[in-house]
Chains A and B, each alone.
Chain A
Amino acid sequence: MTSMLRHRLFWPAAVLVVLLASNLVFSNNFFTITLQDGHLYGSLIDILRRSAPLVLVALGMTLVIATGGIDLSVGSVMAISGALACLLIGDLSNPDAVGPVLLVVGAAIALCLVFGLWNGFLVAVLGIQPIIATLILMVAGRGVAQLITDGQILNVHSAPYRVIGAGYFLAVPVSFLIAAAAVGLTVALTRRTALGLLLESVGGSPTASRLAGIRSRRITIMVYVFAAAFAGVAGLIYSSDVSSADSNAAGNLIELNAILAVVLGGTALTGGRFSIAGSVLGAVIITTLDITAVSVGVPVETTLLFKAVVVIILCLAQSATFRAKVFGRFGTKRAEVPA
C-alpha cells in the first residue's frame, strides 16, 4: 500500500479517478458507451477523442522539458499546420481523393519540421534561452498562419481529410488511434533506445554531459523538431475536426495546458528525469476536467475557475511538504536521503 502511495503517478491517477467518479453523481449515463452506426459513443470516448491533440503536444513538451528547455511555440505551429493543409486542400482539383490529401498532410508536417529545426537552431546553436527562442515563433507563428490563410477562416470539404480528426476506424476514433500511436512511438524512441538516458543526462547537467561525450546540441535540436512535428499532427487533428483553419483559435493556449500536463505527470521543469506515462495522464486529466465541467453543469463563465481549483488541489496533493504539514509525517520519509 505504501509503495503504491509513493509511486509518482499515484496522485495524478487518484485525481483522475475522483474526477471520473464525480461525474457519476451528476450524470448517470456518463459511463455508458453505445455503438451507433459502427461508431463508439459516450463521454469516455469523448474524453479519449478530445485528449488527442493535447496528448500529442504534451509528448513533445515532455521531451523538450526533459532537456531543461520549454517550447511555447507549439500552439502557433498547430495553427500553421492546419492553415497550410486547408490552403492546399482548397487548391486540389478533387479534395476527396486520398492520395493528394496524404501529400498535403505530408507537406504540412514537413513545414512543421522546418519550424522545429528553427527552434532547435536558436536554442542549441545560438544559445538563446528556450523560453525566449520559442516565444519568437509563438508570436510570429500566428502571423505566418494568418499570412497563409490571408487572414480568413478557410473552410474545406474533404472526406479523407475529415477522417483524421473526426473519423472512426473499427468503431474507434481515428484521432485517439493517432495519439496512441504517437505515445507508442515516443516510448519506443526514448526507452527502447538510449535516447531517454541521454536526454535525462543533458537535462540533468549539460556541461557534464558534453564532457561525457554526448552530442547535446544534436539531441536538443532533435527534441524541438520532435515537438514541432507532434504539434503539427495535433494541428491537423484540430483543423480536420472542424473542417477549417482558424489561425487564431487553433492551439490557442495549448502550450500552457501541455506544460501543465507535463508537470502534473511528475516531470520537473528543471529538466532531467521525465515520465511519458505521467504526461499522458496529465493531458487526460486536463481534458476530463473540461468535459466534467460541462457534464457537472458548471456555468461557462466559471469553468476556468473550476479548473484552477482542481489543479491547485492536485498540485498540493503531489507536494510532499504539503502532505507532511497536513497529515503529519505521513508519506514524507522518501524526501530524506543520507548525505
Chain B
Amino acid sequence: MAEQLKMTGIKKIFPGVVALDDVDFRLLPGEIHALMGENGAGKSTLIKVLTGVYDIDGGEIELAGERVRFTGPLQAQQAGISTVYQEVNLCPNLSVAENIFIGREPRKFGRIQWSETRKRAQASLARLDLDIDVTAQLDSYSLAIQQMVAIARATDVGTTKVLILDEPTSSLDASEVEQLFTIMRRLKADGVAILFVSHFLDQVYEIADRMTVLRNGRLIGEYRTDELPQMQLVSKMIGKELEALEQIEEHAKDTTAVERGTPIVEARELGRDGAIAPFSLTIHAGEVVGLAGLLGSGRTELARLLFGADRPDRGELLIDGKPHTVKAPRDAMAEGIAFSSENRRTEGIIGELTVRENMILAMQAARGWTRPIPRRKQDELVEQYIKALQIRPADPERLVRDLSGGNQQKVLLARWLITEPRLLIIDEPTRGIDVGAKAEIQRLVAQLADGGMAVLFVSAELEEVLRLSHKIEVLRDRRLVEELENGADVDADRIMQTIASGATT
C-alpha cells in the first residue's frame, strides 16, 4: 500500500541540541500508528515538524506521494494534517460551536451564519456520540469533553488525511477512552492515517496497528504491534533492561515495616462543602499512603485540604497529635508538609524562570524575601538534585518551560525535596510522562519512604498505587469510602470493586 505520509532522513537542530537525527517515519492510510519514546526522545519535535510548527534542517516529507515543505501550521492543516494536542488548546471563554469553527465559520456575504455554525457543530459532535449544548462556554465542560471538542474540530475538516493525537487520553477516564477509541476506529475505516501518542502502553496495544520507537532523537525501529511484546517495547524505549522496574516490585509489599507512633498528620472528620465529604485519615512517618479513585472522585480535593491550598469548612487537622489550623500553604510548609500539584503547567512550574529558580522557590518562599539563599548554596542544591533525579538537560540556567514534561515534574519534585519535608503530597506525579521517568519517580518515592518521609501518593493508575502504598484510601463521589491495608489480598480488582460499588465492608 502506498504511504499516506513518508518522512525520510528528518533532521532538526536546536542551538546546542540535535532534536531529531536522521529519522524516518511513515504512515499508511487507514492505520493507527503509535509514536513511542521517552520524554525528550523527539516525539513532540517530530510532530511539530510534521505540523509545520518547526521547519526542518534536513530530510524530506512526502504527503500522498507529493513532496511538501510546510512553513506554518496553517499550511499543514490545509494540506490535510490535523492535530489535537496534549493540552487542550482551544479558547475556554468561547462557546463550543465557536471553538469548532473558529477561523472557518460558515459565512454569507462576509457575515457569520450563527445558526448554521451551531447546526454544523451539533452535527460534528453527534458523529462523536456527544450531545451537549454547543452554545455553552467551553470551560463549563470537563477536560474530557473539551478534548472531544478538540477532536471534533480537528476532524471536521473533510479533507483530513492525517490526524495527529498527541496524548489525547491523559485526562480521560476509562469509558471516555473507549469512546475516543470508537471514534478513532471509525476514522481509520474512513482511510484516515492516525498518529497516536500515549504513555499508556495498554492503550497503545489496544488500538495501534504499528508503532515507531524513538530514543534520544534517533529512530530505533518500526514494528507491528502484535509482533513486539510490551516488555521489549519498554526496553527499546529506555535503552536498558528492566531491572529498575523490577526492583520496585520487590520493594512493594513490605508493608509491615512501618512503625506506627504518633501520626505526622491526622485528619478528623475534615471536610469542605462541595469538594470532599468529611474524612478521617492518619499518615505516619515512613508510610506511603495511596489515594485511589476515578477522575473527580475527590482525590485532589482531599490532598489540597491537608496542604492548606483550600480551607476546610469542618473537622480538625492534627499535626504531631496537636490541633492545627492550616489556612494557607505557608502554614502547612512550616510544619514540613509539601504538595506537588497535578496541574504541572498551571500550578507547578513557573515557565519563564530557570530550572534553578524553580527548584529553590519553595525554600526561598519559606525563608521570606529578606533572607536570600546564597548563590553558592543554590548552585550546590540544584546541582545535587539535577544529578540525583537525572534531569535532562542538566543545565540549571535553562528556562523550565523548555524542558519535557517528565523533567519538569522532576524539577517540581526537587523544589519540594529541597525543603526536606516530613510529609510529601504528590498528586499525579507520573501523569503524561514516559516509562523510564515513571519508574525513576516511583523508585524515588519508595526510597524517600524508606528514609522516613511520609508520602501521600495520588494517582489514577491503580497499578502504581498498589505497587508503592502501604495503605490505600479509596475515594468515590467525593467521599472517602474505604481504607485498605495493602497486602497479598489487595489487588486492582479489589479496588475497582470498591470504586464501582462503594464500601464493601
- Measuring CB to CB, which residues of chain A are less than 8 angstroms from any residue of chain B? 192-195, 197-198, 200-201, 204-205, 207-215, 219, 272-273, 333, 336-339
Residues of chain B lying within 8 A (CB to CB) of residue A201: 350, 353, 357, 361
Q: Is the CB of A198 within 8 A of B365?
A: yes
A-B contact pairs, 11 of them (CB 8 A): A192-B372, A193-B372, A194-B367, A201-B357, A204-B353, A207-B346, A210-B328, A210-B329, A211-B329, A272-B352, A336-B14
Told that A197-B361, A337-B402 touch, could you supply 11 new A-B pairs with CB distance under 8 A?
A193-B371, A195-B369, A198-B364, A198-B365, A204-B351, A211-B348, A212-B365, A212-B415, A215-B330, A333-B15, A339-B45
- Is B373 an interface residue when CB atoms closer than 8 A count as contact? yes
Residues of B within 8 A of A (CB): 14-15, 17, 19, 44-45, 48, 54, 307, 309, 328-330, 333, 339, 341, 346-353, 357, 361-362, 364-373, 399, 401-402, 404, 415
The verdict on A208 contacting B352 (CB below 8 Å), with A194-B364, A214-B365, A215-B330 known, is: no
A213's partner among B48, B353, B365 (CB-CB below 8 A) is B365
Q: In the bound complex, do residue B369 and residue A213 qualify as a contact, i.e. CB atoms below 8 Å apart?
A: no
Q: Which 7 A-B pairs have the closest CB atoms?
A: A213-B365, A339-B44, A194-B372, A204-B350, A338-B14, A195-B369, A214-B365
Output the nearest chain A residue to B364 by Cβ-Cβ distance: A194
Closest Cβ of chain B to A200, distance in Å, is 6
Q: Report the minimum CB–CB distance from A142 to chain B (whole Å).
A: 34
Which residues from B are CB-within-8-Å of A210? 309, 328-329
Residue contact B14 to A337, C-beta cutoff 8 Å: yes
Interface centre among A210, A211, A333 (most CB of B within 10 A): A211
How many angstroms between the C-alpha atoms of A211 and B342 in the bound complex? 12
- B369 contacts A198, C-beta separation under 8 Å: yes
Cβ 8 A contact of B352, one of A200, A207, A214, A336: A200
Q: Which residues of A contact B415 (CB under 8 A)?
A: 212
B330 A213 Cβ-Cβ under 8 A: yes
B14 and A211: CB pair below 8 A?
A: no
A336–B54 alpha-carbon span in the complex (Å): 9
Contact assessment for A213 and B352 in the assembled complex, using a CB-CB cutoff below 8 Å? no
Distance between A226 CB and nearest chain B CB, rounded to angstroms: 13
User: Smallest CB–CB gap between B434 and chain A, Å?
Assistant: 14
Knowing A200-B353, A333-B15, the reply to whether A211 touches B361 (Cβ < 8 A) is no
Q: With A and B bound together, what is the CA distance between A219 and B307 in angstroms?
A: 21
Q: Is the CB of B361 within 8 A of A214?
A: yes
- Contact, CB under 8 Å: A338 / B369: no
Given A198-B364, A212-B361, A339-B44, the answer on whether A273 and B352 have CB atoms closer than 8 Å is: yes
Given the known interface contacts A194-B369, A338-B45, A339-B44, the answer about A213 and B333 at a Cβ–Cβ threshold of 8 Å is: yes
In the complex, A146→B14 CA distance in Å?
A: 59
CB neighbours (8 Å) of A195 from chain B are 369
Contact A338 to B329, CB < 8 A, known contacts A207-B347, A214-B361, A272-B352? no
Chain A residues whose C-beta falls within 8 Å of the C-beta of B366 in the assembled complex: 213
- Which residue of chain B has the shortest Cβ distance to A204 in the bound complex? B350
Chain A hits for B15, CB < 8 A: 333, 336
Shortest beta-carbon distance from A195 to chain B in Å: 4
A218 to chain B, nearest CB (A): 9
Assess the A339–B48 pair: CB atoms within 8 A: yes
- In whole angstroms, what is the CA distance A336 to B369 when docked? 33
How many Å from the CB of A225 to the closest CB on chain B? 14
